[in-house]
Amino acid sequence: MLGRVIRVLSHSEFEAEVEDISVGDIVICGDILAIVASVYQEEPEYAKYLGDLDREDIRRFMPDISEGKKVARCISLCKINLDEPRTAPKIGEEIKPVSDELLRKIHYSNGEFRIPYLIPLIDRCRKDVSLIRSLLLRLMDVIPEEKELLEIILAEIEYSRMRGVELK
């Protein structure tokens, strides 16, 4: 287990308190496949009400409490049957890393390779293609027979992004 859902932002976004995770990691929460879009450290709630001296005392005597928690913001990609996720995960639900075998199985439904969530993900990540790049590189590793197709898709996404950049 990587963590648990602590906040639902919308039907397609949620946050989880996590231990060890990186931006671009692919996770599963119930029957929802998601990608980690960002990771940040959240201050403990009580810190808002304390002065600097009080915080130092707490850090010295209770370092585990004063540390806060590591939070990952996740974007729901699809359900494990590749349907669009129309419901959000439940608060407290576990998130786990997705194994290579499961990732391969999800994308090879009915014997054909499919990525139906790619276009909506591209729309959401217009300014930052690093998430898409991370996803496609992982798929290239897991599904080597589709590597050529995935490289073409990645090159086209990066080219489109570069075309939209204005040089000054």
Output the pLDDT for position 72.
94
Q: Which residues of 109-118 are buried (b: 16+ CB within 10 A; e: fewer)?
A: eeeeeebebb
Residue ranges of domains in the chain: 3-163
Environment class of 72 (CB within 10 Å of its CB; exposed 0-12, middle 13-18, buried 19+): buried
For 137-167, the pLDDT digits (tens) are 999 999 999 999 999 999 998 888 777 665 5
100-121 tens-digit pLDDT: 999 999 998 778 899 999 999 9
Count of other CB atoms within 10 angstroms of residue 60: 9
14 pLDDT above the threshold of 80: yes
* pTM as predicted: 0.82
- The candidate with the shortest Cα–Cα distance to 76, out of 126, 9, 137, 134, is 9
